[in-house]
Structure 1
Amino acid sequence: MTKGIHKVHSFMLIALLLIVTVLAGCNSAKTQQTQSSSDNQTTTTPLTPSSPSTSEPESSATQAETVKLTLYFPNADGSALVPAQRTVEVSNQEIIKAMFKELSSPPSGLEPPLPKGTILRSAVVKDGVATLSLSSQFRTNFGGGSDAELMTIYSIVDSITNLPGVQSVQFLLEGQKQDAILGSLDTSVPLKSNPSLIRK
């Protein structure tokens, strides 16, 4: 009788140990599966919108635009302005900046209207007035003379007033308005084009 009880107890103990072992193994496998699933989620994260492969194309505002310009250059003896056609590519609507660059390179037989070293600091068009801020070299490197002054000023004015929406030009020197930026011609107010100086 006692031996029978011992056998039952031994059997129950072995069965209990087996159950505990099986349960422990299941929990371990479940833990590993959860961790593996978590690792897979980390490595398959989709690209963010800022990734180079999904970036937006450049805005059309930065693309170059071809523009035809009519510029006016002083003739050899400084008595008149002569029209010249140029085709340029500009971006961000920097047409006036492109015009100043072209005015520095006159056609053969014509003179550059800008004093050497002149830099266009800024150009703003508002209410039909193009306000230009020029560097100090515009005045300090100007050779002098009333005829040369007319040619220099109106080469710029007549060229820029050819642009749509521009009726006059206000000159500034390093951002400051001048009564006579080159000596005698009144530049305290915006200047309109002077067709009488143009040789047809």
Structure 2
Amino acid sequence: MKKILYLLLCMAIIFNFVACGSKLNGSNDAKTKKVSLESDKIKDDSKENAKTDNTEESKEQNNDEGSKEEKMAELYFSDEQAMYLNKEEVKCSEITAEFLIKKLQEGPKNSKNVSTIPSDLKISLEVKDSTAYVDLDAEVAKKLNGGSSSESMLVYSIVDTLVLNKELGIEKVQFLVDGKIQESINGHLDISGAIKPDLSMIQSK
């Protein structure tokens, strides 16, 4: 009888060990599965964050490209007969009065148009209260070729170019020579007051 009890006791002990081992393995499997799930979640979060970062970067690049979008500025040059002004367009990232004057001095792209401003003439510029103050070097009278027509073309080439580019907000132009207001450049055209554009001088196509 004692032997039977002893065998039963041994079997109970063995059964308990087996059961504990199963529970331990199950617990380890659950922990492993939990760690795996957390790892997968971290990976998914990293992918989502990377996707968000790429989206934001793409938006910033698009905004930069949009801010650098090219604009079209208008320039007015004389025709070959010095009777009318012809419009040319030039691309730029930003339209400024200084840029327009520089482009006028560089001369036209169209061979049928004629430059109105001597390329070596010194010009300073200031915009205040919708008026552009264009200060011409004292040598301007000597540098102009021709009489009243060249004087008129120079003045209205500058005036129409600065005023008709509406983005600048310029309404009129006051000319100065060597920092002073004068009656005229070469005795032909009154420049003592601020001048507005003359649309009748622009040649229609």
TM-score tier, shorter chain, comes to 0.5 to 0.7
Matched, 1:112 2:106: no
Change over 3 Å in CA distance of 1:100–1:144 after alignment to 2: same
Q: Deviations over 1:64-117 (max 9, x none)?
A: 784421111001111110011111245xx7x11111121122122110100241
- For normalisation by structure 1, the TM-score amounts to 0.61
- For normalisation by structure 2, the TM-score amounts to 0.60
1:181 to 179, 185, 188: 185
Identity %: 30
Structure (1 or 2) with the greater helix fraction: 2
* Corresponding position of 1:101: 102
* Corresponding position of 2:8: none
Any unmatched runs of 5+ in structure 2?
A: 1-66
Change over 3 Å in CA distance of 1:109–1:126 after alignment to 2: same
Matched, 1:193 2:177: no
Superposition CA RMSD, Å: 2.2
Deviation at residue 167 of structure 1 after TM alignment? 1.0
In the alignment, the residues of structure 2 paired with residue 199 and residue 133 of structure 1 have an alpha-carbon distance, to the nearest angstrom, of 27
Runs of 4+, deviation exceeding 4 Å: 63-66
In the alignment, the residues of structure 1 paired with residue 114 and residue 171 of structure 2 have an alpha-carbon distance, to the nearest angstrom, of 25
Q: How many residues align?
A: 135
In the alignment, the residues of structure 2 paired with residue 67 and residue 135 of structure 1 have an alpha-carbon distance, to the nearest angstrom, of 30
Change over 3 Å in CA distance of 1:145–1:68 after alignment to 2: same
Any unmatched runs of 5+ in structure 1?
A: 1-62
In the alignment, the residues of structure 1 paired with residue 128 and residue 91 of structure 2 have an alpha-carbon distance, to the nearest angstrom, of 25
